[in-house]
Amino acid sequence: MQVYEAPLRDMKFVLHELHQDDGFGNLEALAEFTPDLVDAVLEEAAKVAQEVLLPLNRGGDIEGCTLENGVVRTPSGFKEAYDLFREGGWCALASDPEWGGQGLPESVNKMTEEMICSTNLAFSLYPGLTHGGTTAIEGYASDELKKLYLPKMVEGTWSGTMCLTEAHCGTDLGMLRTKAVPQEDGSYRITGGKIFISAGEHDLTENIVHLVLARLAGAPEGVKGISLFLVPKYLPKEDGTPGPANGVSVAAIEHKMGLKASATCQLNFEDSTGWLVGNPNKGMEAMFKMMNTERVSVGIQGLGVGEAAYQSAVWYARERLQGRSLSGVKNPKGPADPIIVHPDVRRMLMTMRAYNEGCRAISAWVSRALDAEKHSADPEVKQRASDFVALMTPVVKALFTDLGFESANLAVQVYGGHGYIAESGVEQYVRDARIAMIYEGTNGIQALDLVGRKLPAHMGRNLRSFFHPVSRFIEANKENEAFKPMIEALEKAFGALQLSTATIAQKGMADPEEGAAAATDYLRLTGLVAMGYCFAKAAMIAQGRLAEGTGEAAFYQAKLATARFYFDRILSQATAAFLAIKSGKASMMALAEEAF
């Protein structure tokens, strides 16, 4: 059964208590967003997620999207839910007030995104892609395009997509064939086909704004010859309302493993009118503005599904009677005890809980950096925040989605046979979560980005934004007897990360395949250390609140228990990752290609 109650208390904890010493300082530009205001926003978002989106989730998966006469219809209730969502201002939550947005902190926006993804991941893609599109337009488009398109997109009347992939090329965008031909009026004619376009066609908005990668005649080969174009489904009339169709058609909608209520389309552009965004042959720079925004959001998708799967598993574990507790009967009036009494079920539930709380803590930390990168008046803080965001973006995308998928699978295991059948609703989480490890750059690509780009950038400066606070925390708390086991475990994992960094830097310079062979394990190790740092801080805060005699003893006791489980049962994965990295590429690359 799909059950969900927004984890508001934990969200408030990571926003208001956990990261007050993150080094990004108080941001005066966001001073009006007080904790009380933030909490009110989160509580209202929870109502929308729980009362409007959750009831549509399973039905939307069963019904799916349909293509009729070139028009894609979303499942029953989606249009009404989207209208309510848009009218409530949720599309514009974190957007710039200049274009009609509410300008809320990104840290608040990410918590709202998590709730939406937990209750209806398919629905989340429609407004989510639009928000990503506005970042690229705002950062690179002409003032004329901004004024025409951003207000409509920010309010959600028009939606957005990113059109990258073509049938013959996936991640290797340098092979794309879509063409752009300049016109005398400054526009371009765009011709080509794109696949895997999320929200490429639907009935939720009055217009759809496609950001399309294409190649100009005579452009350099590869990614250095790609340009970005804004191509609307309907050409706007002089009054700003949608006008004639613009040669954008749907060839098909993809038949997918999951996310069936999200329209993933094959699109054809046939002499469609478009406008250049950014400079010619510099399209990847502009598109990466959107892609990096989306990569953090995709990480939040993994967290959202993981939380929903966890809560559904807890509900079932409390309700399902099977067997007797090994320590004595716990339900003497019933024929059996609830399965939540069994150690292996507890192992699965605690693993899911720790993954979710750890990812949420990292999410709040990265979101604080996103806010500081945008709003800090201190150039040094701004740079440090930018470095941290660059380093952690691939970690958030890959780690969160890996763990979200693992949590979804664990939920099915808790349900047993009932989890494998559709009626339970939890098998949908497995199917929906799987794509998050693939799109916006596969998790293997994220690991290569971390090792190949983010580590060596600026002579390793990005790493300092992460290593320095962790190192200072360990040094400051080494003598804290109450938390000595946690600090020692964190120090050991952090040491493994430092040694792994040096190993990759040394071997990778001589042989790039060595760095690539270590990349996935290195990304996981980085994430494990980041989680460990957050859990150690959280445990110390929780202990302090309990010592003060807080009225929320149950919450802080649970936080301590989850932190202890993380250090006892999960952080040990750091040792395995370190040993894998240390082993190098030899056994990975030894088997002859024809022997596979």
H/E segment holding residue 212: strand 207-216
| Residue 73 CA: distances (Å) to CA of 16, 218, 411 | 41, 40, 31
pLDDT band at 175 (very low <50, low <70, confident <90, very high): confident
How do residues 50-106 score in pLDDT, each as one tens digit? Answer: 999 999 999 999 999 999 988 999 999 999 999 999 999 999 998 999 999 999 999
**Tokens representing 384?**
């440090």
- pLDDT in the model for residue 174: 73
Compute φ and ψ for 466, nearest 5 degrees.
Answer: -105, -50
How do residues 377-397 score in pLDDT, each as one tens digit? Answer: 999 999 999 999 999 999 999
Residue 202 reports pLDDT greater than 90: yes
Rounded (5°) CA angle 119-125-130: 135
**For this structure, is 440 an active site residue?**
yes
Catalytic residue, from 254, 357, 440, 514: name it.
440
Name the percent of the chain lying above pLDDT 90: 90
Structural domains counted in the chain = 1
With beta carbons less than 8 A apart as the criterion, state whether 267 and 196 touch.
no
Q: Is 447 within a domain?
A: no
Amino acid at 306: G
- pLDDT in the model for residue 292: 81
Regarding pTM above 0.85, the answer is yes
How do residues 486-539 score in pLDDT, each as one tens digit? Answer: 999 999 999 999 999 999 999 988 899 999 999 999 999 999 999 999 999 999
Q: Is 557 within a domain?
A: yes
- pLDDT in the model for residue 204: 98
DSSP letter (8 states) at residue 338: B
Q: Decide which of 200 and 551 is more confident.
A: 200
- pLDDT in the model for residue 24: 84
- pLDDT in the model for residue 553: 95
Residue 293 reports pLDDT greater than 90: no
Q: Is 158 within a domain?
A: no
Structural domain span for residue 575: 455-586
Comparing 154-168, 521-535, 560-574, the range with the smallest average pLDDT is 154-168
CA distance 300 to 117: 8
pLDDT band at 223 (very low <50, low <70, confident <90, very high): confident
pLDDT band at 290 (very low <50, low <70, confident <90, very high): confident
- pLDDT in the model for residue 286: 84
Q: Is 549 within a domain?
A: yes
Q: Is 155 within a domain?
A: no
DSSP letter (8 states) at residue 18: I
CA distance 161 to 265: 11
What is the C-alpha radius of gyration for the chain, rounded to an integer number of angstroms? Answer: 24
115 closest CA partner among 463, 487, 123, 180: 123
How do residues 129-151 score in pLDDT, each as one tens digit? Answer: 999 899 999 999 999 999 999 99
H/E segment holding residue 67: strand 66-68
393 closest CA partner among 448, 435, 450: 450
How do residues 316-344 score in pLDDT, each as one tens digit? Answer: 999 999 999 999 999 999 999 999 999 99
- pLDDT in the model for residue 405: 98
Q: What integer best gives the mean pLDDT of the chain?
A: 95
Q: Which residues, 6+ apart, have CB-to-CB distance to 577 below 8 Å?
A: 496, 500, 521, 522, 524, 525, 528
Residue 167 reports pLDDT greater than 90: no
